[in-house]
Amino acid sequence: MVACIVAALVAAMLPGSAAFGEAQKYLIVSAASTGHIAYLKLPHSGAPAVSDGQAMKSLVTDGLVFPQGIAVDEYRQRLFVADTNQSGIVMYDLSANGDALSVGTKKTVASGVQVRAVAVDGLGNIVFTDEANNRILKVTNEMIAAGQTTPIVLYSGNNSVQAPGGVAIDNYFVYWLNKQNGTQAGTLFRGQQTTASASSVSMLATNPKCYGLCIAAGNLFFTDASQNLYGINRASTSRHRTYTISSSFQEPRGCVYDGSSTVYVADKANNAVYQFAANMEPLETQQMTKAVDLEGAYGVAIYTDVS
C-alpha cells in the first residue's frame, strides 16, 4: 500500500502530470481574419506556455464570420464569442476529454447589436460594448437561461462612453476602454455593475485609442492600437498612474490573466500570442515571450477544466 502511494506521488510530479489534482488549463484564441477559434493545452504544472513549435488545435471551424472578443465562464463551462458580422454574441458549451477540448451547439445569447468585446463574471453575467451606439450592455445569467437575448443597457450616451472597445468585469464593477477622445475625455473607465448610474463612473486613465482590457489580480492591463501594453493598479478610487509594460507589439489586441501568474496578449499583426509574468510589484517594463503562433490572433481567454 505504501509503495502504491509513493508511486502515485512520484507520478504526480512527473512532467505532463497533473500534480495533486491541479486542474488542466487551456488557452483559447480567436482569429478574426480566418473566422475560427483555436486552443492550446497549457502545462499541468501551471507554468506558462512555451514557444516550442507546438501548434494550436481547432476548436470552432465554422459558423463564425469575424470573431473578435471571447470570454469563458469556467464554472458553467461556457465560451462566449463576439462576432461583429453576426450582430450579437453566441455561446458554446465547453468540454474537455484528455488533451482535447470541444464545443457544443452554437446558441445566440445577445442579438441586435454589433459586438467586438465581451466579458463574463463569476455569476455567469456577460457585459459587452456597443461601439457604434456608445453603450455598455449586459445579459444576466438568468436571461441566458430564459433565452432572453435583448440586452440591458448599463451605460449610454455620455462623455464616459465614447466608442467603447475592450471590456472587463468582476462581481462589482465593469471596466471599459473608449476609442475616441481618449487623451482628452479619458480612455479607461470603471462603473458599478449592479446599480449603474453616471455618478458611479470613474475615469482611471487617459491614453490614445485602446483595444484590449483584462483584470489580473490587483492590476488592469490594456493595449493600444499599435504597439503598447499598459498597466495600472486598480486599488485606488481616483485616477491612476499608467505604466508602459511593453512597446514591442505591432497590433496588440485582447489580453487575459490565467488566474495564477501569467498574462497572455494577442498580437494580430505578429500572428502570435505573447506572455509575461503578471505578479510584478510594482508595475514595470516586462519582457514579452512568444507563447504560440496563430494567424490573426485577436481575442484570448483561459478555460480551466474543473470537472
Structural domain boundaries of the chain?
22-305
pLDDT at residue 167, rounded to an integer = 97
First-residue to last-residue Cα distance in the chain: 28
Confidence of residue 165 (pLDDT cuts 50, 70, 90): very high
Dist. CA 230–CA 212, nearest whole Å: 10
pLDDT at residue 154, rounded to an integer = 94
In contact, 255 and 263? CB cutoff 8 Å: yes
In contact, 179 and 165? CB cutoff 8 Å: yes
Percent helix, percent strand, percent coil in the chain, to nearest 5:
10, 45, 45
Listed as own residue / partner, the contacts of 234-240 with beta carbons closer than 8 Å and 24 or more positions apart are 234/175, 234/190, 234/204, 237/202, 238/202, 239/202, 239/203, 239/204, 239/205, 240/204, 240/205
Dist. CA 237–CA 76, nearest whole Å: 31
Query: In this structure, which CATH number among 3.30.70.1560, 1.10.3720.10, 2.120.10.30, 3.30.70.260 belongs to the domain 22-305?
Result: 2.120.10.30
Q: In a 3-state reduction of DSSP, which class is residue 57?
A: strand
In contact, 121 and 75? CB cutoff 8 Å: no
pLDDT at residue 22, rounded to an integer = 67
Count CB-CB contacts under 10 A for residue 176. Answer: 29
Q: Is the pLDDT assigned to residue 217 strictly greater than 50?
A: yes
Condensed to tens digits (0 to 9), the pLDDT of residues 247-295 reads: 999 999 999 999 988 999 999 999 999 999 988 888 999 999 999 999 9
pLDDT at residue 6, rounded to an integer = 37
Q: Average of pLDDT values for 107-127? A: 95
Q: Is the pLDDT assigned to residue 186 strictly greater than 80?
A: no
Residue with cell 489586441: 253
Tell which residue, 240, 253, 223, has the closest CA to residue 282.
Answer: 240
Dist. CA 223–CA 49, nearest whole Å: 21
| Centroid of chain to Cα 1 | 45
Q: Average of pLDDT values for 205-218? A: 90
The whole-chain average pLDDT of the chain stands at 87
- Tell whether the torsion through CA atoms of 64, 302, 246 and 272 is positive or negative: negative
Dist. CA 230–CA 284, nearest whole Å: 10
Q: What is the DSSP letter of 285?
A: -
Query: Is the peptide bond preceding residue 151 cis, with omega within 30 degrees of 0?
Result: no
Question: Which set of grid coordinates corresponds to residue 283?
Answer: 508595475
pTM recorded for the entire structure? 0.90
Confidence of residue 175 (pLDDT cuts 50, 70, 90): very high
Count CB-CB contacts under 10 A for residue 9. Answer: 11
